[in-house]
Structure 1
Amino acid sequence: MLAAQILVVALAATLTARMWYLQVPMAEHYQSLAAANHIQELVVPATRGQILDAQGRPLVRNRTELTVSADYHQLERSPDGGEEVLRNVADLLDVPFEELQRRTRLCGPDVSRPCWQGSPYQPITLVEDVDARLALQIMERREDFPGITAQQRPVRGYPMEDRAAQLLGYLQPVTQEELEEREDLRTQFTGVDYVGRDGLEAVYDDELRGTSGVRKYEVDSRGNVTGVFSETPPEPGDHLVTSIDERVQRVTEDALAKGLESAGGPADSAAAVVLDVNTGHVVSMASLPSYDPSVWEGGIDQETYDELLSEDAGDPLTSRAIQGQYPPASTFKVTSLAAGAENGVPLDKTFSCPSSISVGGRSFQNYEGSGHGSLSLHKAIVVSCNTVFYQMAYDMWKEDGGLSPDEEPEDAMTTMAHDFGFGEPTGIDLPHEGSGRVPDREWKREYWEDTREQACERAERGYPEEDDPERAEYLEQVAEEQCADGYRWRAGDAVNFSIGQGDLVVTPLQLARAYAAIANGGTLHEPRIGKALVAADGTGVTEIESGEPDKLPVSDRTLDYLRSALADVPRKGTARGAFGGFPLDEVPVAGKTGTATSTGKKESGWFASYAPADDPQFAVVVLISQGGTGGAVAAPVVREIYDGIYGFSGPEDADDAESADGDPDDQRGSEPALPGGEPPTELPTVRSDGSIVAPGEPD
């Protein structure tokens, strides 16, 4: 009995101590848990900021569309689980009932999509972009549609349609994996919201998204909402003001599309970049093929996504302007000339321009085998003489020691290429930028180590699949060299490099940046598209800074020489035909054509330029992949872009322009895309009511 009494007292004491622990030290903890049982939080997304051009025109804006939604709990309380009302909605809106039923299921481990990823206290989207007359019927016949609402919601709108699609980017729903990995998303998203996936939408996603609000509902034990406990309103995202000019972008896109179509045949893609040479800001950037970014609205279906990735579509998701990597061909000669001039090649010397020269047992020719006798480096740029640069590169290669180089060879041309910004990303505020490739000695050794095994196999097996015996023999010889000592920087590598061929590849943006640096006196800016972030009510402005610019290691004398030579290319050289009738006396253009060749492909045409040549403002670069020569296909597109910027007559009116006795007013064809020929230096003004005023206009 005594033992039993002791046991009872011990149990009573233990129970008392446990009750005291739960009700006194742990009281606050369990009070919060109890409150959570009847308080449910709902994240309220903020209105996303617009993307504006330099004048305040919308490049991406928010438009409203009518959306039909369902109350999950009200459907659940229905005797049939909401089947009847969903059938009524399906009949009225002409959508399959089964699809609506699947959309109202809450997502979970055992639930296949489509399903609802958001909170059950949030209206479940059933049908998007509903006709206003049908939505009105739902609102007027409440008794037939209990728990169903029709409301407006903001969605992204693209005023330029398929223009600048890769630059602007798109939105896609946040994934469950992202919500699990990123705590900041869990506090900002409902599970059915959208994040930037490409372009500016991705880079400036945090600023454009704004700050979500939180609405706390009081609910009963069955989950029914009984009231609103508290609410923190969302803060709308900032507007992104860019350096893009919407009119210049349209001019660029239209000219590029026309040029690609005119090239015909195997021409498969094209790119164009317009830079402000004084700041590095992008005025326009285009890539073809393109696509309409509105296809991403509401989440893209598999069929549409497969079409975007199909061979027929031509990979429109890739921006050729920053991701396309191509041999720069003769546009690269400005870098080679700078390397020669800064390493002892006299600028006042006369050089021989034969039709071909022999280097390392191989013949290297001018384009189409033409020769020009004796000429200056100035004339070599104007007529694009390859053999002058072949000889220059060969002489410099021999001075470095040839196949047995000094311990620290100068490698002036590859070093200068790096100094011009080639071989590494420019740092532009866009994702997935390509770095290009500068094939120097270090790269060649790494490449040899990676490919030696395949080269040795080919050297032994040969190329029996080749129909041309001479080509098969040449390829076998190359394979033997690569197998034995492919790490060596050979004479052929050096001479090919000097004219922008071989393993050298650049992006159109890198080339535009290099020509902008030549134009502005040697400053290599970090390109930028974003200029500022402006609060939705105009109360705050945050300017977007660029990185510190670099300086070209090129003397003023060499830069002046280059600019003089480039200014003669549209007047007397390989771009003369494209600029016939253009008022070069009013707006002189400087530039260089390039025709890149690749085995098994048609030539790709380049034209890299800047204008006005006497007071540079814009650098314009165009590439037409597999379109033909630079003078025939790329230079006319650049000329049309300048026509649009300055409002000159187009090429089709060249005869009329030439007969105008040199009067610039008679050469004006339309309103210039940029009146005054300069981008605005000020920002647009956002008023407190959200309206936007262009720079320089009275507020």
Structure 2
Amino acid sequence: MRRPPRDNAESLRRITRRAMILGGAQAAFVGVLGLRMRFMQVDQADQFRLLAEENRIKIRLIPPARGRIFDRNGAVVAENVPSYRITMVREEVGDIDEVISRLARLVELDPDELERARRDLEELRGDTPVTVADRVSWGDISRVAVNTPALPGITPEVGLSRRYPQGTDYAHVIGYVGPVSDRDLEQIDAPDQLLLIPRFQIGKIGLEAQRENLLRGKAGNKRVEVNASGRIMRELDRQEGQAGSDLQITIDNALQSYTHARLAEESAAAVVIDCETGDLLACTSSPSYDPNLFVRGISVTEYKALLDNKYRPLPNKAVQGIYPPGSTFKMVTALAALEDGQIDPAETVYCPGHLEVSGRRFHCWKRAGHGNVDLHRSLRESCDIYYYELALRTGIEKISAMARRLGLGVQHDLPMTSVAAGLAPTKDWKLINKGNDWVIGDSVNAAIGQGFVLSSPLQLAVMTARLATNRQVAPRLIKSIDGVEQPTGHGEDLGLNENILREVRKAMFAVSNNRRGTAYSSRIIEDAFRMAGKTGTSQVRNITAAERARGVTRNSDLPWERRDHALFVNFAPFDAPKVAVAVVVEHGGGGSTAAAPIARDITLQALYGEDPPLTAYPAKDRGRIKTQQEQLRRARPSQDGSGSDRA
């Protein structure tokens, strides 16, 4: 049946309306799509181009500048200097051998360094920059920069390297840095990404190692765009890192240099402490070495020469070396007995030259003996029998307790490598460590700083500072961090009886200023700077009965390694102590002849702040001292920061 014309017209209107709506919707959609496409293709073209090429955007770490180290007066002792190097990134190179061959035509490549680089390129992640040429010249850098289109993955860089301008003077205090090793990484639980950069330098020993986290700083980073051949096209953005903290240490550069020069001919150590603050003004171990040799890797020949040197230049004898303190320990024994009421300063002990204890004869250094001696004379002339007697009365427990109270037998908190604890032995210590009971002879030996007693030059200096002040003076090495002053080692009251301590100090004064004192020949003439001290000689060999019968062999007639160690401790000025000094000369023979003159010279240098006037010395020594001062001035680098039990 045919539909009426009216119905057909209505249907046509509906179809037309739907078509218009659909067409309008399609047109709107196309319009929106077009606008969106224009926005993305025109307005955001740069952003999406980078996103599309994300595999060509590389993120590189920017190593921070290592913190510098200054002496107490602001002289630089560890700094950073520009270092030019050439790096390679494996995944950007393509044919490694071909690129290295091209590079070798422009720059002289060290075979050993190149071998290390090849090993790193194989073992490390492909995006890690590996140094293939280090410490190259500016001319080398320029030639490589000009030829970078032909050297994909090769980048000339300017970095920073560590330098120690004072050379050997600070080797044992500051230490040195060196490339990160596998052993370094094994000792760190979660290594900083900086440490994974080949040949990144970290502290190996000394202050550089002990305060690595402060000195290293925080890494920055940069995003760079590279082309298909690996060449860097541009730097997209950069976030700078945070430089390491600058440290100021307590060491006085001039005094450290002088002390090192004064010890130059000896296997020895010396420590100078400020009695007020505990500041280490000098801390020297001799002989020393140039830490700059280790920064880039010391040669096998040079390292073997250091290892084979019988004077042992590598260990820090000042804090790491431990020695029987000899007669310098006698103040400890005296104070333990006096504080315990076992004796008073005026009481005398008879010295016939030996003492029988449990069937064994213990000798005094003076074969004929000293006769009747009291506290003053026993210290002044270093009589051994007096202290044997004190040990029998007092016992090892109280003597060792006094030693620890004065800073011996404890590990002092210093940011240096292998700071020794020394040993103030007890009965329990011997039972646990030796498997034997303590015997009375052990106490007799300990009374004069022999037997099991061991101490470092640092500990002896701390002991002397505490004797001088009656305070718990503690050694301090770091003066400030980024300009912020650190706590001093002034210390609380030690609690010793001041009257008793005064008597011990007077006896130490007599050691250096009484004609019969064991250090009289090394006295200070200047009244304002007179010192109180104590000599010491510690045996390193056993003396047999047969040798004693025919006469003890003189040290000068023995091989060097069998001679006694020489020691001396002192503080000055006597009436108002400013510095305490300890000197140990390995196998030096006698404390009065080998160690005391060195300690006296160092003390005067510390008090005057420069070469002291000749009038401060005994008249008979002034000619020799004048010549010595002239020689030492020539031996010392410039101070502008640019210079490489007998007593």
What TM-score comes out, normalization by structure 1 length?
Answer: 0.72
> 1:643·1:650 contact (CA, 8 Å) conserved in 2?
no
1: distance between equivalents of 2:429 and 2:503?
31
Aligned to 1:100, which of 90, 114, 122? Answer: 114
Once the two structures are superposed, residues 307-345 of structure 1 have per-residue CA deviations (whole angstroms, 9 ceiling, x without a partner) of 43x333643221111111110000001111101110111
1: distance between equivalents of 2:212 and 2:113?
31
Matched, 1:565 2:507: yes
Residue in structure 2 matched with residue 211 of structure 1 by the alignment: 218
Q: Tell me how far 1:385 sits from its aligned partner.
A: 0.8
Matched, 1:174 2:151: no
Once the two structures are superposed, residues 446-495 of structure 1 have per-residue CA deviations (whole angstroms, 9 ceiling, x without a partner) of 1332xxxxxxxxxxxxxxxxxxxxxxxxxxxxxxxxxxxx31x3221111
User: Relative to 1, partners in 2 of residues 1:101 and 1:416: Cα closer, same or farther, differing over 3 Å?
Assistant: closer
Aligned to 1:253, which of 228, 237, 260? Answer: 260
Matched, 1:574 2:581: no
Q: Secondary structure at the match of 1:162?
A: helix
2: distance between equivalents of 1:83 and 1:385?
74
Q: Tell me how far 1:219 sits from its aligned partner.
A: 5.3
Q: Secondary structure at the match of 1:352?
A: strand
Q: Tell me how far 1:198 sits from its aligned partner.
A: 0.9
Residue in structure 2 matched with residue 85 of structure 1 by the alignment: 102
Aligned to 2:568, which of 592, 607, 616? Answer: 607
> 1:569·1:590 contact (CA, 8 Å) conserved in 2?
yes
Aligned to 1:272, which of 264, 270, 273? Answer: 270
What TM-score comes out, normalization by structure 2 length?
Answer: 0.78
1: distance between equivalents of 2:168 and 2:572?
28
2: distance between equivalents of 1:379 and 1:171?
51
The answer for unaligned runs of 5 or more in structure 2 is 1-50, 543-561, 634-639, 642-647
1: distance between equivalents of 2:149 and 2:231?
20
Aligned to 2:328, which of 314, 327, 331? Answer: 331
Aligned to 1:648, which of 612, 631, 638? Answer: 612
> 2:336·2:394 contact (CA, 8 Å) conserved in 1?
no
Q: Tell me how far 1:595 sits from its aligned partner.
A: 0.3
| Structure 2 residue identity aligned to 1:354 | P
Q: Secondary structure at the match of 2:356?
A: strand
Matched, 1:343 2:340: yes
2: distance between equivalents of 1:64 and 1:419?
49
1: distance between equivalents of 2:303 and 2:133?
21
2: distance between equivalents of 1:558 and 1:56?
41
Q: Tell me how far 1:287 sits from its aligned partner.
A: 0.8
Residue in structure 2 matched with residue 355 of structure 1 by the alignment: 353
Q: Tell me how far 1:237 sits from its aligned partner.
A: 1.4
1: distance between equivalents of 2:463 and 2:195?
42
1: distance between equivalents of 2:210 and 2:489?
16
Residue in structure 2 matched with residue 18 of structure 1 by the alignment: none
Q: What's the % identity of the aligned pairs?
A: 30
| Structure 1 residue identity aligned to 2:409 | G
1: distance between equivalents of 2:621 and 2:179?
53
User: Relative to 1, partners in 2 of residues 1:548 and 1:279: Cα closer, same or farther, differing over 3 Å?
Assistant: closer
> 1:188·1:212 contact (CA, 8 Å) conserved in 2?
no
User: Relative to 1, partners in 2 of residues 1:656 and 1:415: Cα closer, same or farther, differing over 3 Å?
Assistant: closer
Residue in structure 1 matched with residue 11 of structure 2 by the alignment: none
Q: Secondary structure at the match of 2:257?
A: helix
Aligned residues: 557
The two structures, once aligned, show a CA RMSD in angstroms of 3.5
| Structure 2 residue identity aligned to 1:185 | D
Matched, 1:393 2:410: no
Residue in structure 2 matched with residue 463 of structure 1 by the alignment: none
Q: Tell me how far 1:200 sits from its aligned partner.
A: 0.7
Q: Tell me how far 1:172 sits from its aligned partner.
A: 2.1
2: distance between equivalents of 1:152 and 1:144?
20
Once the two structures are superposed, residues 233-278 of structure 1 have per-residue CA deviations (whole angstroms, 9 ceiling, x without a partner) of 12211210000000000111111124x1xxxxxxxx3111011111
User: Relative to 1, partners in 2 of residues 1:139 and 1:219: Cα closer, same or farther, differing over 3 Å?
Assistant: closer
1: distance between equivalents of 2:234 and 2:260?
53
| Structure 2 residue identity aligned to 1:86 | L
User: Relative to 1, partners in 2 of residues 1:182 and 1:542: Cα closer, same or farther, differing over 3 Å?
Assistant: farther
User: Relative to 1, partners in 2 of residues 1:102 and 1:340: Cα closer, same or farther, differing over 3 Å?
Assistant: closer
Aligned to 1:130, which of 132, 136, 139? Answer: 136
Residue in structure 2 matched with residue 46 of structure 1 by the alignment: 64
2: distance between equivalents of 1:515 and 1:497?
18
- Counterpart mapping for 1:37-76 below 5 A: 37-70=55-88, 75-76=93-94
Q: Secondary structure at the match of 1:254?
A: helix
User: Relative to 1, partners in 2 of residues 1:651 and 1:62: Cα closer, same or farther, differing over 3 Å?
Assistant: farther
Q: Which has the larger radius of gyration?
A: 2
Aligned to 2:590, which of 615, 629, 636? Answer: 629
Residue in structure 2 matched with residue 596 of structure 1 by the alignment: 538
Q: Secondary structure at the match of 1:586?
A: helix
2: distance between equivalents of 1:144 and 1:635?
68
> 1:574·1:593 contact (CA, 8 Å) conserved in 2?
yes
> 1:176·1:191 contact (CA, 8 Å) conserved in 2?
no
2: distance between equivalents of 1:102 and 1:444?
50
User: Relative to 1, partners in 2 of residues 1:161 and 1:119: Cα closer, same or farther, differing over 3 Å?
Assistant: farther
User: Relative to 1, partners in 2 of residues 1:59 and 1:389: Cα closer, same or farther, differing over 3 Å?
Assistant: same
1: distance between equivalents of 2:52 and 2:541?
73
> 2:92·2:229 contact (CA, 8 Å) conserved in 1?
no
- In terms of mean alpha carbon deviation, does 139-148 or 387-396 score higher? 139-148
Q: Tell me how far 1:431 sits from its aligned partner.
A: 2.8
Once the two structures are superposed, residues 477-518 of structure 1 have per-residue CA deviations (whole angstroms, 9 ceiling, x without a partner) of xxxxxxxxx31x322111111111111111111111010011
